[in-house]
Amino acid sequence: MKKKILILGLGYVGITLFAALMKKNKIHELYGVDNSKELIKNLKNKKFITYEKNLLNIFNKYKKNNIFFDSQINTNIKYDIIIICVGTPIKSNKKINDKFLFDAVKDISKSLNNNSLVIIRSTVKVGTTKNIYKFLNKITKVKFHIAFCPERTIEGNAIEEITKLPQLVGCIDKNTKKLTSDFFKILTKKLIFFETFEEPELIKLLDNSYRDSKFAFANQVAIICDQLNLNAMKIIQKANKNFTRNAIPLPGPVGGPCLSKDPYILDQSTKQNSSLITQSRKINEKYVELFSNKIIKFSKKLNEKNINFSIIGISFKGKPDTNDIRDSTALKIIEKIKSEFPHSKIYIFDKFVETRKIKNLDCIKINKIDDCFKKNVCIIHGNNNYIKSIDINKKLNNNAKVFVFDFWDNFSNITNPLNKKRYSGLGI
In the complex with ligand NAD, the residue whose CB is nearer, 153 or 278, is 153
Q: Residue 251 Cβ, how far from ligand NAD at the closest point, in Å?
A: 23
Tell me the residue nearest to ligand NAD as measured from the CB.
11
Phi-psi region for residue 54, left (φ > 0), alpha (ψ -120 to 50) or beta? left
Distance of CA 306 to the CA centre of its chain: 34
Does an H or E element contain 377, and which? strand 377-380
> Minimum CB separation from ligand NAD for residue 122, in Å?
3
Q: Considering beta carbons, is residue 88 or 280 the nearer one to ligand NAD? A: 88
Q: Report, in Å, the least distance between residue 120 CB and ligand NAD.
A: 9
Q: Cα angle at 425 between 279 and 241, to 5 degrees?
A: 75
Residue 344: CB minimum distance to ligand NAD, A? 32
Determine the Cα–Cα distance for residues 6 and 68; give it in Å rounded to an integer. Answer: 9
**Phi and psi dihedrals of 406, rounded to 5?**
-120, 115
- 375 Cβ partners below 8 Å, 6+ apart? 308, 309, 310, 347, 402
Q: Are 162 and 16 in contact (CB under 8 A)?
A: yes
Q: For every residue of 391-414, which 3-state class applies, written as one string?
A: CHHHHHHHCCCCEEEECCCCCCCC
Whole-angstrom distance, CA of residue 382 vs CA of residue 321 = 10
Taking the least distance from each CB to ligand NAD, the nearer of 84 and 372 is 84
What span, in angstroms and rounded, lies between the C-alpha atoms of 88 and 124? 7
Of 257 and 313, which has the nearer Cβ to ligand NAD? 257
Binding site for ligand NAD (CB under 6 A): 8-14, 33-36, 39, 85-88, 100, 103-104, 107, 122-123, 151, 155, 257-258
Q: How far is the CB of 42 from ligand NAD (least distance, A)?
A: 11
Task: Provide, rounded to whole angstroms, the least separation between the CB of residue 131 and ligand NAD.
Answer: 15
Nearer to ligand NAD, 188 or 419 (CB): 188
Query: 10 vs 380, which CB is nearer to ligand NAD?
Result: 10
